Amino acid sequence: MEDIIIEFFATFFIYFLFTGLIILWFIDGKIKKEQVFHALLACIFTAIIVFFIKYFFPTLRPFMINGRGVNVLIKPLDGAFPSGHTAQAFVLAVTIFMHDRRVGWFFLIGALAVGIARVLANVHYPVDIFGGALVGTLVAVVAEKAHVFELLKTARRRK
Question: Which segment of 3-12, 33-42, 73-82, 85-94 scores lowest on mean pLDDT?
Answer: 73-82
Mean pLDDT computed over every residue of the chain: 83
pLDDT at 129: 96
pLDDT at 139: 95
Say whether pLDDT at 70 is over 70: no
Its CATH class, for the domain covering 2-158, is: mainly alpha
Percent of the chain topping pLDDT 90? 36
> Average of pLDDT values for 22-42?
76
Cα–Cα distance between 124 and 98 in angstroms, integer?
A: 28
pLDDT at 150: 66
> Average of pLDDT values for 3-13?
77
Cα–Cα distance between 158 and 145 in angstroms, integer?
A: 22
- Residue 1: which H helix or E strand, with range? none
Question: Which segment of 39-43, 113-117, 137-141 scores lowest on mean pLDDT?
Answer: 39-43
Say whether pLDDT at 134 is over 70: yes
Highest mean pLDDT among 20-34, 115-129, 137-151: 115-129
| CB-count exposure of residue 77 (10 Å: 0-12, 13-18, 19+) | exposed
> Average of pLDDT values for 73-95?
85
What secondary structure does DSSP assign to 32-48, as a single string?
Answer: -HHHHHHHHHHHHHHHH
Cα–Cα distance between 55 and 28 in angstroms, integer?
A: 40
Say whether pLDDT at 54 is over 80: yes
> Average of pLDDT values for 84-108?
91
